[in-house]
Amino acid sequence: MSETEATTGDGVVEFYWRPGCGFCAALERNLTKLGLPFEKHDIWSDPDAAAFVRSVADGNETVPTVRVGDTSMVNPRPGQVVDAVRQHLPHLLPADAGV
């Protein structure tokens, strides 16, 4: 997992993925199970999303990539996403998530 600082003011968890990516599907299942809301961006159908991923993944289109606040994570574990949400967007954590 690599972590890069980026800038976003959206106040949402942004989930960058592509169809057929097993790692993306696994992370999405885990985040959904935790009750964490996120906004999905398909890098194969959204050129801006693909460009963003390349900007934080050393020029590669490595997914899943997740942006939370000003932190971007390439291929993060669910716990890393939760930690970033706790730090940047704690209001998004569900009260009953047990995280």
d(CA 38, CA 49): 15
Q: In DSSP terms, which residues pair with 73 in a beta bridge?
A: 3, 66
At 2 the pLDDT is 39
Structure tokens that stand for 68 in this block: 């939370």
pLDDT exceeds cutoff 50 at 24: yes
Confidence of residue 10 (pLDDT cuts 50, 70, 90): low
Summarised one tens digit per residue, pLDDT across range 29-78 is 999 999 999 999 999 999 999 999 999 999 999 999 999 999 999 999 99
d(CA 82, CA 60): 24
Residue with the two structure tokens 């996403």: 81
The mean per-residue pLDDT over the stretch 17-38 comes to: 96
At 96 the pLDDT is 61
d(CA 79, CA 97): 12
